[in-house]
Amino acid sequence: MVKLSDLGEEQYVSRSQAKRILLALDKFEKIILDFKDVKTVGQGFVDEVFRVFKQEHPNIEIEYVNANDNVLFMLKRGLDTPQ
């Protein structure tokens, strides 16, 4: 499980931030992102994690927990985007 709030006061908005978080996680079969205490995320971050990384690693399951309403809105928006 990756606890995003443990990474400090960083806001998770960009693709580069997503890439740093996902670095070396391609060795796992399942990734759980914990959004506890994360106020919001950006569209680029969501796209990089849930579309780009997932396309590159189709056998890795990605889940999320503890997302507030703002984070859920961006996650659902990004996940509903046609490919």
CA distance 10 to 52: 21
**pLDDT for position 50:** 94
- Label the pairing between strands 2-3 and 61-65: unpaired
**Band of residue 80 on the pLDDT scale cut at 50, 70, 90:** confident
The helix (H) or strand (E) run that includes residue 65 is strand 61-65
Q: Where are the domains of the chain?
A: 2-79
**pLDDT for position 1:** 84
Provide CATH code, domain 2-79.
Answer: 3.30.750.24
**Band of residue 83 on the pLDDT scale cut at 50, 70, 90:** very low
- What pLDDT, in 10s, does the model give residues 28-79? 999 999 999 999 999 999 999 999 999 999 999 999 999 999 999 999 988 7
Cβ partners under 8 Å of residue 7, min gap 6: 21
